[in-house]
Structure 1
Amino acid sequence: MLGDCRWLTLEVTSLDSVAPFYRERLSLPLIEATDRQYRFDAGGSSELRLRRPTAVPRGGLHTHYAFSCPADAYDAWWDRLDADFDLQEVDFGSMRSLYLYDPAGNCVEIAGADEPSGTAGRTLSGIFEVVFEVADLPASEQFYTALGFEVVDRGENRTRTRLTNGPLDIELWEPQLGLADARGGVHVDVGINAESPAAVADNVAERVTKREQLDDGAVRIRDPDGHYLTFVRSER
């Protein structure tokens, strides 16, 4: 069984030009900084990683992804960011989301998707959605449903699909501009908690383009569109 997002990695050419956006504007605590990668605490069990393209997995380019926050923290985030960014907002009925871009061209969403916290402070609860660009939508749907995701929505023009495993949504987009002119990421690197990493990877063994056994029982695969998914044993 799959769990929530463990990490999302974004590719940047200059760590020093992008890191302040996440550290100062989004208030993400820095976990670790090296010459190649910065790791930030993104709330919940999630990390946001910024990585220079010096090896594979590289990290995603122009990736649209979403943080969740308590519903009563949403207005505080809007007030914090509105003065300095050209924010866009979408009201989905059950929640509101704001959209802005980081200095590397990634479309960042903050969604008031969680139960109210009672504090109304600016907090984030983790990464709950990532968008992948794919070449063959039906084939990608089959791949991700075999991993354990469930299709919950398809676009009217049949060029995008949203899948969920509960804690994490993955959207599959054929090349296009979405809300706020967002694009699906290419060669995205995502870590996902799993009760049995090897068993999850076995479900798509004949379709992966690469498979690696990592430390502590983690398994990394590369899907047919070049996205890397690492299944990490769930922490108990």
Structure 2
Amino acid sequence: MNGSTAALAEVDAIAAAARAHPGVDVALCPPFTLIAGAAGRGVPIGGQDVHAAASGAHTGCVSAAMLVEAGAELVIVGHSERRADQHETDAEVRAKAEAAIAAGLTAIVCVGETEAERDAGNAVAVVSAQLAGSLPAAADRLVVAYEPVWAIGTGRTPSIDDVAEMHAAIRAALTGAYGDVGRGVRILYGGSVKASNAAALLGVADVNGALVGGASLTAADFVPIIVAAGESRG
């Protein structure tokens, strides 16, 4: 819940950086109010949430068709903040992903554990269970994002070994769910990604990109992450 129309200038600067690094796929997911204004500026635009229903008595919600009409190409579903604050269940996240994909959007399905769950040694089990309940029936236009809840916005990040372990578990779950197709599903890491740690995180096996939070609000913070992604793939 950040940004106003003045922030569209940041979109232009980020789009310019994306053009300079054609090997990196860059997308932005602003608040609903900025989707139409941000679309068509040279970088794919997505929503931060979507309702599973096509229409109806769901005041304050936005359907997949509405996102498409506004110019969105993708949408985040099941972000940890919505799972916590709006009490979204795995079944609801799955339904949202299905609706998004059916409308032609790419669905970024988020999963992740709390600090208590990690400290108890249950991180992989928790995330695997979330995946099992949240994944759509087909892997078309599917991306998975691992976001350790305790690392979001805190400046803390898991160790490289922790990230590698979790992404390997997610890859195994995806191949178990979708077969060989699951090997091609992108897995993003999200949790206090910034310029200083992006290169190390993006160098981990099965980390196919980043779901960037606070560092995506300005081009000054986000562009160095794009550069790091380009270098990690170059």
- Does TM, normalized by the shorter one, top 0.5? no
**Which structure shows the bigger proportion of residues in strand conformation?**
1
TM superposition score normalised by structure 2:
0.30
TM superposition score normalised by structure 1:
0.30
**Which structure shows the bigger proportion of residues in helix conformation?**
2
